[in-house]
Amino acid sequence: MSVETTASRFDSIKWVVVTILLAAGIVGNSYYSDQSLLYRVLALVALAGVAGLVALQTAKGAAFWALVKGSRTEIRKVVWPTRQETVQTTLIVVAFVLLVAILLWGLDTLLGWLVSLVIG
């Protein structure tokens, strides 16, 4: 029980450090607005990288990293369609969209004509 409390206390401290790093990047970017954009962007990327590394040291960060690794593993298992299958599927979708568009246009025209007969 005390190990979980200690870990959560340290996680809270790490999240505070992440927040301070990100806030320092935002304030620093504004404070050094007279400096070159390249230097400011590089500093922001470096601060974001350090903040990300600190965040990955937390329990939630570790869980997120495990999710990313698992996702990459699952993506490797996907059987992607061939070019011919992709083209055929796209053509079928386009044909059905055009068919539904024509049907809706015809229905709209018919209903418009009926309403104009009723109204006068």
What per-residue confidence (pLDDT) applies to 10? Answer: 86
Structure tokens of 70?
């698992």
Q: Kindly report, residue by residue over 40-72, the tens digit of the pLDDT.
A: 999 999 999 999 999 999 999 999 999 999 999
* Measured distance CA(20)–CA(72) in Å, rounded: 31
Query: pTM of this prediction?
Result: 0.56
Q: What are phi and psi for residue 106, nearest 5 degrees? A: -65, -45
The tally of CA atoms less than 13 A away on the side-chain side of residue 63 is: 4
